[in-house]
Amino acid sequence: MEGWVSIYRKLATSNLWLKQKFTKGQAWVDLIILANHKDSVIEKRGNQIIVKRGQVGWSELALSIRWKWSRNKTTRFLKWLENEEQIIQQRTRMTTITTIVNYEDYQNPKNKMKQQKIQQKDNRSSKTIQQKDTNNNDNNINNENNIRNTTARSDKSLQAKAIINFTFETNKWENITSEDIDIWKEAYPACDINLGLKQMRSWLIANPKKKKKNYRRFITNWFSRWQEKGGSTKSEKYEEDASEKYRTV
């Protein structure tokens, strides 16, 4: 007979279950029901004893009383289960810890099938990885070349994007992106970025001969000095500083 059924643990406390002397089969099922479903601690004579998942923390005497058996019969039955490799007993001077050998299987027989499937999947994965490694070794050179070419194109694109200009014909900034604004806001939190760009624009309009080769550096230096001065949002007089500091920018 194959398959399995779930048994409600409360059955172990019902009058129907405990009314008469246990059969050996009932005693075996009772052990599985009594086993911990998670790790816990019991106290015996003032000492704490850890009882792990799948273990029973009942002494032989307690089981004898529960099953309505003699002490000798209980001892013989547990010894027989141990010889059949169904349980493992750990006896101490305070109690006996009984481990159900195949507890996980009794809880859910599908666990064993899952383990087998996992093992099969791991074996297939290992073979696939080995094959991929071989293919990757063959393709490494091509991939590296592709990466270099892509990086070169990306660098050129970034360089083109990095060029910020101020056009004196229209008196406007060009190529300032939202990413630039976000970077400046993070780097210079005390500065009003939009106000600062307007101040720079006003200064450049007033000083058309002071064209810059690198406006990104010009903007960064402006915000840097503003941040050092406390980042006041008031209009500042940068003409003297700018004419000296940004002359060679």
Structure-token pair, residue 175: 């190529």
User: Are both 20 and 86 inside the same structural domain?
Assistant: yes
* Number of domain units in the chain: 2
**CATH (domain of 26):** 1.10.10.10
136 pLDDT tier (thresholds 50, 70, 90): low
User: Are both 87 and 172 inside the same structural domain?
Assistant: no
Q: Measured in whole angstroms, how far is the alpha carbon of residue 131 from the centre of its chain?
A: 29
> What are the angstrom distances between the C-alpha of 88 and each of 17, 79, 175?
25, 9, 77
Among 61, 88, 107, the domain boundary falls at 107
User: Are both 17 and 103 inside the same structural domain?
Assistant: yes
Classified as helix, coil or strand, 234 is coil
Q: Is pLDDT larger for residue 231 or for residue 165?
A: 165
Average pLDDT over residues 95-100: 90
Residues facing 97 on adjacent strands? 90
Tell me, yes or no, whether 31 lies in a domain. Answer: yes
Are 35 and 56 contacting, i.e. CB atoms less than 8 angstroms apart? yes
Tell me, yes or no, whether 176 lies in a domain. Answer: yes
Residues facing 56 on adjacent strands? 98
Structure-token pair, residue 38: 């998670």
- Residue 238 confidence (pLDDT): 47
Phi, psi of 119 (to 5 degrees): -65, -45
Average pLDDT over residues 25-33: 93
- Residue 211 confidence (pLDDT): 81
Tell me, yes or no, whether 238 lies in a domain. Answer: yes
pLDDT tens readout for residues 217-240? 899 998 888 888 777 555 444 444
Tell me, yes or no, whether 148 lies in a domain. Answer: no
pLDDT tens readout for residues 173-187? 999 999 899 999 888
pLDDT tens readout for residues 59-90? 889 999 999 999 999 999 999 999 999 999 98
Tell if the pTM clears 0.75, that is, is over it: no
Are 206 and 198 contacting, i.e. CB atoms less than 8 angstroms apart? no
Classified as helix, coil or strand, 95 is coil
Of these ranges, 56-70, 107-121, 206-220, the one predicted with the greatest mean pLDDT is 56-70
Tell me, yes or no, whether 103 lies in a domain. Answer: yes
Tell me, yes or no, whether 160 lies in a domain. Answer: no
How confident is the prediction for the chain on average, in pLDDT?
79
Tell me, yes or no, whether 50 lies in a domain. Answer: yes
Closest to 184 in 3D by CA, of 194, 169, 174, 170: 194
Segments forming the whole domain that contains residue 92: 9-107
Tell me, yes or no, whether 204 lies in a domain. Answer: yes
Average pLDDT over residues 27-40: 92
Average pLDDT over residues 114-139: 60
Average pLDDT over residues 84-110: 84
